């Protein structure tokens, strides 16, 4: 416990130092990292409760973005408001994907599960490609391009929504897990599916609802990032990887840790990007930090 406390103190100190020395990297990293966390949270839920690493995770984000794009393009829907339409559509798609593929192999070997989500990922990307071509799509809204001055630097104001949303989504998830009967059931299933069945929980149903709900949750990140990205079919892949990294770094079942890891990695990435000539190294740093943290944790585990 004391060590963890020290780690957090160290982390906070580092943040303060970065904020003082490189305020732009700090704020930009905070925003990016929050977005990564927002995207990673549903993946962590599915991994923690269903025990499934969903390699198609990022592609549901892509799908959400395209749905939002269509709503915007055809019906002039505001990107953020379109969340309330994207979410139920994604829920149904998630449900259909889960019932038609994943549930069928849930009892078999882990590798089969991984393979099937990989298959789902490829199928989704190809489907998106043939439906909407690989031409990048953009959504413009004026409010998303405003910037504000903070500590003498100019930074995007809109992106602070990522920070607010990631904290809000995290709190809602934790509250649901702790305070609702479904949440407690899901928490129980995640720890011990056999035990859950023995106390009368319909484990299959919990899996189905968790997967579909987590997929629907991708509507939040899709809506928020919509005005700030170019939408193209392969957009999701790197986000799947980063989501997995955050989950691994936080440790299974540690949801607040995802926000912390996300912000750490976001800032590390932003610092590297701010060094002229080295911006291409940011992914390397992302995965480098991840490996360090996991190695550190494994080492600490071995000492005990």
Residues that bind other proteins (CB under 8 A): 181, 184-185, 187-188, 191-192, 194-204, 253
Task: Tell me how far, at minimum, the Cβ of 46 lies from other proteins, in Å.
Answer: 18
Task: Tell me how far, at minimum, the Cβ of 200 lies from other proteins, in Å.
Answer: 4
Between 23 and 183, CB nearer to other proteins: 183
Between 129 and 191, CB nearer to other proteins: 191
Task: Tell me how far, at minimum, the Cβ of 42 lies from other proteins, in Å.
Answer: 20
Task: Tell me how far, at minimum, the Cβ of 215 lies from other proteins, in Å.
Answer: 24
Between 63 and 189, CB nearer to other proteins: 189
Between 203 and 271, CB nearer to other proteins: 203
Largest CA distance in the chain: 60
Task: Tell me how far, at minimum, the Cβ of 186 lies from other proteins, in Å.
Answer: 12
Task: Tell me how far, at minimum, the Cβ of 196 lies from other proteins, in Å.
Answer: 8
How far apart are alpha carbons 102 and 142 in whole angstroms?
Answer: 41
How does DSSP assign 86-148, residue by residue?
A: HHHHHHHHHHHHIIIIIHHHTTS-HHHHHHHHHHHHHHHHHHHHHHH-S--B----GGGG-EE
How does DSSP assign 243-277, residue by residue?
A: HHHHHHHH-TT-HHHHHHHHHHHHHHHHHHHHSTT
Instruction: Write the secondary structure of 146-175 as one string of H (helix), E (strand) and C (coil).
Output: CEEEECCEEEECCCHHHHHHHHHHHHHHHH
How far apart are alpha carbons 104 and 193 in whole angstroms?
Answer: 17
State whether the Cα torsion 98-100-106-108 is positive or negative: negative
- Per DSSP (E only), the strands in 151-236 are 153-156
Between 130 and 191, CB nearer to other proteins: 191
Q: Alpha-carbon Rg of the chain, whole angstroms? A: 20
How far apart are alpha carbons 190 and 242 in whole angstroms?
Answer: 22
Cβ pair 128, 66 in contact under 8 A: yes
Between 88 and 195, CB nearer to other proteins: 195
Task: Tell me how far, at minimum, the Cβ of 205 lies from other proteins, in Å.
Answer: 9
Between 197 and 229, CB nearer to other proteins: 197
């Amino acid at each position: 416990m004391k060590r963890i406390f020290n780690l957090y103190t160290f982390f906070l100190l580092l943040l303060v130092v970065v904020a003082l020395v490189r305020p732009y990297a700090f704020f930009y990293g905070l925003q990016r990292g929050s977005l990564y966390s927002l995207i990673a949270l549903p993946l962590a839920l599915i991994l923690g409760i269903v025990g499934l690493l969903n390699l198609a995770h990022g592609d549901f984000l892509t799908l959400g973005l395209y749905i939002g794009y269509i709503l915007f393009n055809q019906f002039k829907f505001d990107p953020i408001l379109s969340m309330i339409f994207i979410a139920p559509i994604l829920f149904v798609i998630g449900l259909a994907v889960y019932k038609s593929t994943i549930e069928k192999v849930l009892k078999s070997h882990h590798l089969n599960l991984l393979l099937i989500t990989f298959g789902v990922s490829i199928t989704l990307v190809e489907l998106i490609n043939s439906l909407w071509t690989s031409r990048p799509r953009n959504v413009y809204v004026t409010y998303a391009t405003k910037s504000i001055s903070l500590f003498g630097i100019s930074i995007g104001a809109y992106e602070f929504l990522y920070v607010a949303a990631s904290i809000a989504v995290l709190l809602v998830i934790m509250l649901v897990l702790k305070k609702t009967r479904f949440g407690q059931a899901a928490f129980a299933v995640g720890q011990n599916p056999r035990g859950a069945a023995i106390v009368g929980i319909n484990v299959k149903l919990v899996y189905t609802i968790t997967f579909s709900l987590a997929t629907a949750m991708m509507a939040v990140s899709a809506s928020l990032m919509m005005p700030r990205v170019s939408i193209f079919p392969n957009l999701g892949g790197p986000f799947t990887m980063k989501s997995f990294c955050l989950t691994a770094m936080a440790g299974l079942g540690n949801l607040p840790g995802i926000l912390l890891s996300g912000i750490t990695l976001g800032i590390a990435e932003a610092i590297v990007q701010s060094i002229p000539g080295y911006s291409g190294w940011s992914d390397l740093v992302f995965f480098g930090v991840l490996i360090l943290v996991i190695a550190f944790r494994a080492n600490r585990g071995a000492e005990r």
